[in-house]
Chain A
Amino acid sequence: MIQLTTFPIDSDALVRQAQVPASGAVLLFLGVTRQHTSGRETAELRYDAYHEMAEKELAALEEKARQKWHLNECLIVHRLGKVPLGEASVAIVVASPHRHAAFAAGEWLIDTLKMSVPIWKEEHWADGSSDWIHPEHDVKHSQATSTNK
C-alpha cells in the first residue's frame, strides 16, 4: 500500500496493520523533520510532489520490493505540505517472516525513494529564508517503471 497525504502519519496504525503471526519481523522507518542541518536551524519543511507520477513511482517501488524480498506487508506513506519539527514526512513499514529481508527491503525502499520519486522538500529556515533542496545526484529510473514505457 502506498499513500500521499497532507495529514500527520499514524505510524502506530501502520505497524498494527503489518503485525500478523506470519511475520516474525516488522520494521518501521520514519523520516523526521530535523532541527539542525549543517549548522543551520530549520523551522519546518514543506513538501511538494508531482502527485500522479509520485504515486506511480511509489507503487513501482512497492512492487519491486515485493519481487526482491519475501514481504508479507509493504507500506509506504509520504506526507506533503508542511511538516513541523519532530514529525514524520515519510513512513515505511515492511513485514517478513525473517528479519534480514525486512532490514534489507526497508533500507532499499528509503534509499531508492530518495533517488527516484518526484517529491521535493523546501527548507524553511529559522531565520525566515527558504530553499528548495535539489541534491547533487542524478534522478534514477526505478526499473519497475522504466520497463513500463
Chain B
Amino acid sequence: MRVKVKMFAAARDATGASEVVVELPELARVRDLRIALESEYPQLAPLLSRAMFAINTHYADEDTPVPLAGEIACIPPVSGG
C-alpha cells in the first residue's frame, strides 16, 4: 500500500517536500513506516530516529497500525515556546 506522510521543519528540508509517498507492506505498523522512510530517504535517518509519528493528529506508538486512508505525519522533536 502507498501512504502519504506529512513532513515538517528539518524533515521537510531533508526530503525537499511537505508530503512524501512511501510504499508499505499491508498491515504495516509505525515501525515499518519508519524503516521504509529511512530506506527511501537516507538523509532523514538522523532525524527519524528521534521523530514521533502522528496518525489523524494523535501521537502514535511503534505498534500503531498505519491506516490506508488517514493523515500521517512525521513529527521531529518539537521546539515551540
Taking Cβ atoms with an 8 Å cutoff, the residues of A that contact B are 31, 47-50, 52-54, 56, 78, 89-90, 110, 113-122, 132-139, 141, 145-146, 148-149
Whether B36 sits at the interface, judged by CB under 8 Å, is no
B-side contacts of A113, CB under 8 Å: 80-81
B contact set with A: CB distance below 8 Å: 6, 8-10, 13, 47, 50-52, 54, 57-59, 73, 75-81
Q: Are A53 and B73 in contact (CB under 8 A)?
A: yes
A residues near B13, Cβ cutoff 8 Å: 132
By the criterion CB–CB under 8 Å, are B58 and A110 in contact? no
Query: Which chain B residue lies CB-closest to A47?
Result: B80
CB neighbours (8 Å) of A132 from chain B are 9-10, 13, 76, 79
| CB proximity of B55 to chain A, nearest CB, Å | 9
Distance in Å: Cβ of B72 to nearest Cβ of chain A: 11
Question: Which residues on B sit within 8 Å (CB–CB) of A137?
Answer: 77
Are A48 and B8 neighbours in the complex by a CB distance under 8 Å?
Answer: yes
Q: Name 27 interchain pairs, CB-CB below 8 A, sorted by A.
A: A31-B81, A48-B8, A50-B8, A50-B57, A56-B57, A90-B80, A113-B80, A113-B81, A115-B78, A116-B78, A118-B54, A119-B78, A119-B79, A119-B81, A120-B8, A120-B9, A120-B10, A120-B76, A120-B78, A120-B80, A121-B80, A122-B9, A132-B76, A134-B76, A136-B77, A139-B78, A146-B58
B11, chain A: closest CB distance, angstroms: 9
A48 adjacent to B9 (CB under 8 Å): yes
CA A138 to CA B50, docked complex, whole Å:
7
Question: Could you tell me if B59 and A50 are in contact, using CB atoms closer than 8 angstroms?
Answer: no
CB-defined contacts of B54 to chain A, threshold 8 Å:
50, 53, 118
